[in-house]
Amino acid sequence: METNVGNPILNIAIFGAFVLVTMVIVFRASRNNKTAADYYAAGRSFTGPQNGAAIAGDYLSAASFLGICGAIALNGYDGFLYSIGFLVAWLVALLLVAELLRNTGKFTMADVLSFRLKQRPVRIAAAITTLVVCFFYLLAQMAGAGGLVSLLLGIPDRVGQSIVIAVVGALMIVYVLVGGMKGTTWVQIIKAFLLILGAGVMTVWVLAINGFNLSTLLDRAVETAGTDAILAPGLQYGLSDVSRLDFLSLGLALVLGTAALPHVLMRFYTVPTAKEARRSVVWAIWLIGIFYVFTLVLGYGAAALIGADVIRAAPGGANSAAPLLAFELGGPVLLGVISAVAFATILAVVAGLTITAAASFSHDIYGSVIKKGNPAPGSEVKVARRTVLVIGVVAIIGGIAANGQNVAFLVALAFAVAASANLPTIVYSLFWKRFSTRGALWSMYGGLASAIILIVFSPVVSGAPINEATGLSTSMIQGVDFHWWPLSNPGIVSIPLAFLLGFLGTITDRKREDAAKQSEMEVRSLTGIGAEGATQH
Amino acid sequence: MGNDAHDTGTANVDFAAVQSSPRFQTLRRRHRSFVFPVLALALVWYLVYVLLAGYAPEFMATPVVGRINVGLLIGLGQVVTTFVITMLYVSYANRRLDPIAAEIRSENGGER
């Protein structure tokens, strides 16, 4: 398949309709954006089910839709194995984090981490890890947009792709600038609905042509692939000692990172109570879980109906499995819908990341550190809006520069940094009375530094073996080799190290933290005394 | 302090007294005695899954019904256990945590 399937004009038209509808909603939602609580936390007025859908919309990125479908279509079981970590991870959010965080914080992750420790240093550290995680995640999304453009709109040249990346970035800036958290949330809700509906229709369709029998579908997938290896683990990640450890390392980062992703945490502030935060996670778990079961069917469906060879040869490679399957099933119209959903996905995810990063900069750095907790009325939101512009421009430039580069590892790295730099401090400050400022700083900076250092000296950056077919190494940088860390994922070292550093930093710290603040935080976190409710308009 | 979460009418709440009250201690114990063991169990179960996939691929490839093999069932089993734990926690929180938290809240100036 040399050329693109489907009709680019139709794809753009359907996506345009999505943009139009969401813009109208965003402008309507923006009428009540007056205070910081309105802008950052949507006035805390969303219900649990609405927020749960928005979480799913925020979390199910193009990587999890196109990427996981493609991974299953090409490598079978390993793609499925990968998807499970993203779901199980939500139990950490449900059981340990969501409600307690909603009860203790206001707008950002740093609100919780610095609650009973020394404000300034802890807030700065938490803001830095927030910005780093958001930046990696954002860059991966924007760079991925380029590949998606060539696949879905038939724009193979770099200039055209760059223009589309700029358009995506500009749209995102408008959404976040005008709509704030409320607008962003509605974009995510609508996108989640379209994505799950689209994937659901395709899933039923695939099952229907296989007599609603999963075994028949798998049988056909094996027949097309010519091997039943696609039903067992090992095709993608391999079965060497290094690859097993590498997947374990990735799995740890996925499972422990999700509940520490700043843009996920921030969503818990958009509901009025801890109970609604709990309902949000419950809804998110159902939607995300059902979605990953859909991707299992879609992935094997693509393996059966399209075949791995055709998918590999198509523009976009593995990412083209879901769009090709949509075309096979429903022709250009279904392909157009799925393409538009994929674009909407990128928009919704980058919008969520941008507002999180902007809130962290304006609330944590500007409002709390520079203005020492007393910013002039309205100035924090003004700074947030300017930050959105800056982040938007950086994201566009970064996306264009990274277009075509192998930056897929950035998403896994964002999870690893979140699990190493954020999770230990979140857990310790919520559950360990003795935890101290020094422990928090050691853990956050140690986790951040070790994750990044290990990735820099890993095969994803340099020194991966050269692929015979392409003549290129899978590393980001070609032709040099300075790697000494054998795995592509740092989590297996950086996560335990960050927990250990938090422990050591605390027990060697002679300075005791304020016991009254500890009492206040614990009581607030479990009872919700003093938690801010919805704003009234 | 920079955490201006204070402006929500908690000035006259004696947090230390609430924290040491038997009722709060019960709430704390009930919360921890559920979330810690259940989460540990879920994470171990996930770890077992990942290790089986890495170190026992032949076992995972054992057919059960038609083409559906052990690996697929354990994977879908992870989805099912995630759903089940979610429902168990919601029911536990509704019965054992929320009422006691609401009591403590209403005694300390909260209206909800």
Cα of B80 to nearest chain A Cα, Å: 9
CATH architecture of A8-406: Up-down Bundle (1.20)
Tell me the mean pLDDT in the region A131-148: 86
Residue B3's pLDDT band (boundaries 50, 70, 90)? very low
* Residue A191 and residue A199 in contact, taking contact as beta carbons nearer than 8 Å: no
What confidence tens digit (pLDDT) does each residue in B58-90 have?
999 999 999 999 999 999 999 999 999 999 999
CB contact under 8 A, B2 and A373: yes
Residue B80 makes CB contacts below 8 A (sequence gap 6+) with none
Tell me the mean pLDDT in the region A100-129: 93
Report pLDDT for A420.
97
Q: Is A496 on the interface with B (CB under 8 A)?
A: no
pLDDT of A201 strictly over 70: yes
Report pLDDT for A241.
87
Tell me the mean pLDDT in the region A398-412: 82
Report pLDDT for A164.
84
For chain A, give the number of residues. 537
Residue A272 makes CB contacts below 8 A (sequence gap 6+) with A44, A45, A533, A534
Q: Is B44 on the interface with A (CB under 8 A)?
A: no
Cα of A512 to nearest chain B Cα, Å: 16
Helices A321-359 and A274-305: angle between axes, nearest 10 degrees: 150
Task: Write out the DSSP string of A33-93.
Answer: --SHHHHHHGGG---HHHHHHHHHHHHS-HIIIIIHHHHHHHHTHHHHHHHHHHHHTHHHI
pLDDT of A152 strictly over 80: no
Residue A215's pLDDT band (boundaries 50, 70, 90)? very high
Q: Is B38 on the interface with A (CB under 8 A)?
A: yes
Report pLDDT for B112.
43
The mean of the pLDDT values for chain B is 89
Domain ranges of chain B: 4-107
| Cβ-Cβ contacts under 8 Å, A536 against chain B | none
Report the distance separating Cα B66 and Cα A213, nearest Å. Answer: 10
Q: Residue B86: which of A123, A282, A373 has the nearest Cβ?
A: A282
Q: Is B9 on the interface with A (CB under 8 A)?
A: yes
Residue B52's pLDDT band (boundaries 50, 70, 90)? very high
